[in-house]
């Protein structure tokens, strides 16, 4: 794994968590003030995730030449157990203490479709673990990528993936998934037409600059948009940032690397960490300024995710990889 991309993963996860923290404040009759300029903006972490995923899939395959079955097995081990575990936990909490959830009513079809990574397709609704909507597209991307590995010619593989994703994007009206292609293209350039380091820094700075432009309030609703417009406004800068970060030389930083490694747990656990923190703190210190409360919630969510990664995700993933490798 290119270390810089791990840094970006950590940033992407924390950005999405912050987006949901600010957005969720309204649910608790709270309103942030000086953090409002970030409202909606953190959702661009999803676009970064999609581009990084596309990059990593091609990059890893070019390095290790995995068979379709081994490739898919490795990806599913990485994604499925933690997601299923959290989904099961949320369903169990709902069954035992339904009053905890204000407007959430989990029925059988919603639960089953969530476990199957098919809620968008079966019932046109986000899964029980709401951040899992991105994982449903990730899983579908993995399946398409695995199918393409049966083809021996690299160019034909890439054409098949590209056509499949474009058709799926337009058929589903979720144009955001084209961003997987941006990542694949970035990995292709990295391996076969790698830009010079100076060009990489230029791409990175341009991408960051374009992201910062979208702090303007007129882009605030972009977070709830999955159209081509979002793909252009956030997906293209994400492409520049990922490609640029991959070629500028590896930046060292143990803490940033760790946050990148823990990004999946941080991303998933926000489903519980945000409401637990808000409800708990409002009982203890109801007069605490909302902005400080939001920042505290961010810290709590990141730390909780890191703990879950260390004591659960990391050893579980390692054990499953060893089991199926044998």
Cβ distance 48 to 12 under 8 Å? yes
Tell me which long-range contacts 89-92 makes (C-beta under 8 A, separation of at least 24): 89/272, 90/128, 90/129, 90/271, 90/272, 91/128
Token representation of residue 277: 């923190």
The domain segmentation of the chain, as residue ranges, is 3-325
Distance CA 159, CA 153 (A): 10
* Residue 128 CA: distances (Å) to CA of 285, 291, 293: 30, 28, 26
Distance CA 27, CA 219 (A): 22
Distance CA 133, CA 153 (A): 32
* Residue 79 CA: distances (Å) to CA of 30, 136, 246, 325: 33, 10, 23, 17
Rg (CA), the chain: 20
Look at the chain and count its residues.
326
Q: What is the pTM of this model?
A: 0.95
pLDDT (tens digit, 0 to 9) for every residue of the chain, 326 residues total?
578 999 999 999 999 999 999 988 888 878 778 888 888 899 999 999 999 999 999 998 888 888 888 999 999 999 999 999 999 999 999 888 877 776 678 889 999 999 999 998 888 889 999 999 999 999 999 999 999 888 888 788 888 889 999 998 988 888 999 999 999 999 999 999 999 999 999 999 999 999 999 998 788 888 888 888 999 999 999 999 999 999 998 888 889 999 999 999 999 999 999 999 999 998 898 888 889 999 999 999 999 999 999 999 999 999 999 888 75
Distance CA 11, CA 197 (A): 22
Distance CA 62, CA 91 (A): 40
Distance CA 14, CA 35 (A): 15
Nearest to 76 by CA among 149, 140, 126, 165: 140
Q: Supply the pLDDT for residue 326.
A: 55
The neighbour count for residue 48, using CB atoms within 10 Å, is 28
Supply the DSSP string of 195-213, one letter for each residue. Answer: PPHHHHHHHHHHHHHHHHH
Cβ distance 198 to 186 under 8 Å? no
């Amino acid at each position: 794994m290119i270390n810089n991309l791990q840094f970006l993963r950590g940033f992407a996860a924390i950005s999405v968590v912050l987006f949901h923290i600010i957005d969720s404040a309204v649910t608790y009759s709270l309103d942030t003030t000086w953090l409002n300029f970030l409202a909606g903006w953190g959702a661009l972490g999803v676009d970064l995730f999609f581009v990084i995923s596309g990059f990593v899939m091609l990059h890893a395959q070019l390095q290790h030449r995995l068979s379709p079955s081994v490739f898919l097995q490795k990806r599913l081990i990485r994604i499925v157990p933690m997601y299923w575990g959290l989904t099961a936990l949320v369903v169990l909490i709902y069954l035992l203490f339904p009053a905890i959830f204000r407007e959430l009513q989990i029925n059988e079809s919603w639960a089953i479709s969530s476990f199957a990574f098919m809620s968008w397709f079966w019932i046109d609704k986000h899964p029980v673990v709401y951040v899992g909507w991105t994982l449903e597209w990730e899983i579908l991307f993995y399946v398409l990528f695995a199918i393409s590995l049966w083809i021996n010619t690299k160019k034909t593989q890439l054409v098949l993936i590209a056509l499949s994703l474009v058709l799926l994007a337009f058929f589903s009206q979720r144009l955001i998934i084209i961003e997987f292609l941006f990542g694949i293209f970035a990995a292709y350039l990295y391996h076969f037409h790698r830009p010079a380091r100076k060009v990489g820094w230029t791409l990175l700075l341009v991408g960051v600059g374009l992201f910062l432009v979208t702090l303007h309030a007129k882009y605030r609703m972009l977070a709830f948009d999955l159209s081509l417009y979002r793909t252009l406004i956030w997906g293209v800068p994400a492409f520049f940032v990922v490609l640029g970060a991959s070629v500028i030389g590896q930046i060292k930083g143990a803490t940033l690397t760790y946050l990148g490694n823990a990004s999946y747990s941080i991303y998933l656990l926000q489903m519980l960490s945000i409401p637990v923190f808000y409800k708990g703190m409002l009982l203890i210190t109801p007069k605490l300024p909302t902005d400080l409360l939001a920042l505290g919630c961010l810290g709590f969510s990141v730390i909780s995710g890191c703990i879950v990664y260390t004591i659960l995700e990391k050893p579980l993933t390692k054990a499953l990889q060893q089991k199926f490798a044998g």
